[in-house]
Amino acid sequence: MTLLAVERIKLFTTRSPWWSALAALALTIGFAALMAATSDSDVPMSLAATQFGYNFGVVVIMVMAALAITTEYRFSTIRATFLAVPNRTAALLAKTVVVATLGAVIGTLAAFGSLGIAKLITPDAQLALDSAYSWRAVAGVGLIYFFSAVIAVAVGTFVRHSAGAISLLLIYSQLVEGLVQLIPNIGDDIYKWLPFNVANNFVTGDPDPNNRDAMFGPPVSTAELSPWWSLAYFAGFALILLIASIVTANRRDA
């Protein structure tokens, strides 16, 4: 508990989590407001549409999470951390838990804030949380943010440089996975198992009952797993990456 408190203090005494939280909330809720304001009888507002901006929020959370670890390496404060806590595994796990929990909180607030603004703008739209799909489409966003933050901390621990870690995270999540589909013959088959595509399946795994076109919500996944197995797959990927990064951190100089 002491380690968690220390990491919480270190995190919240910097500006990045506050600005990141504000940016993530503004992006996701702002897109929801835009979708609601432009909806009409031909393209009605839906739960999927309220979460249109959730992938933009994920990007912000991953940047925040990567900075949480890379700035310690940049300013060499990680050395003081490891001197005070010789058990590097415990120190890195504490940081990961604190950062990922913050990511989950921001994601949950962003998702329900997006739903709330959509209800305010389009009070007659069918936006009730009355099914397994609807709860996953909204509440599930916080879980995706949590594990995305874990991945970002792991990558930051591997790379140790802010620009490099952030570039790697953004290029992979926003570009590489999509480009894999262009590989002849096998591209689509590989894409089905890529982590962020599978993660999207958790929040879009069942068709939106309002039948709004997929382009108006989060990207529809091509993963063949069930929604909850998709979350387990994404969580497993994040955990493996985190374990590998901690092993690496224990074997090299701070």
- Tell whether the model's pLDDT for residue 195 goes beyond 90: yes
Domain that holds residue 68: 2-251
Q: What is the average pLDDT across 109-130?
A: 90
Confidence label for 247 from pLDDT (cuts 50, 70 and 90): very high
**Alpha helix segments (H runs only) across the chain:** 2-12, 16-37, 47-50, 54-74, 77-84, 88-121, 132-159, 162-171, 177-180, 187-191, 195-204, 227-251
pTM metric for this prediction: 0.92
Mean pLDDT of 158-182: 92
> How many structural domains does the chain have?
1
Distance CA 47, CA 51 (A): 7
**Identity of the residue numbered 163:** A
Q: Distances from the Cα of 153 to the Cαs of 39, 53, 115, in angstroms? A: 38, 22, 29
Average model confidence (pLDDT) across the chain: 88
Identify the CA nearest to 222 among candidates 178, 184, 170, 174.
178
Residues 6+ apart with CB under 8 A from 107: 24, 54, 57, 58, 61, 141, 142, 143, 144, 145, 146
What confidence tier does 145 reach under pLDDT thresholds 50, 70, 90? very high
Residue 211 is predicted with a pLDDT of: 52
Q: How far is CA 81 from CA 3, 7, 17, 115, in A?
A: 10, 10, 20, 40
Tell me the C-alpha to C-alpha distance, in Å, between residue 121 and each of 91, 117, 148.
45, 6, 30
What's the whole-number mean pLDDT along residues 77-95?
87
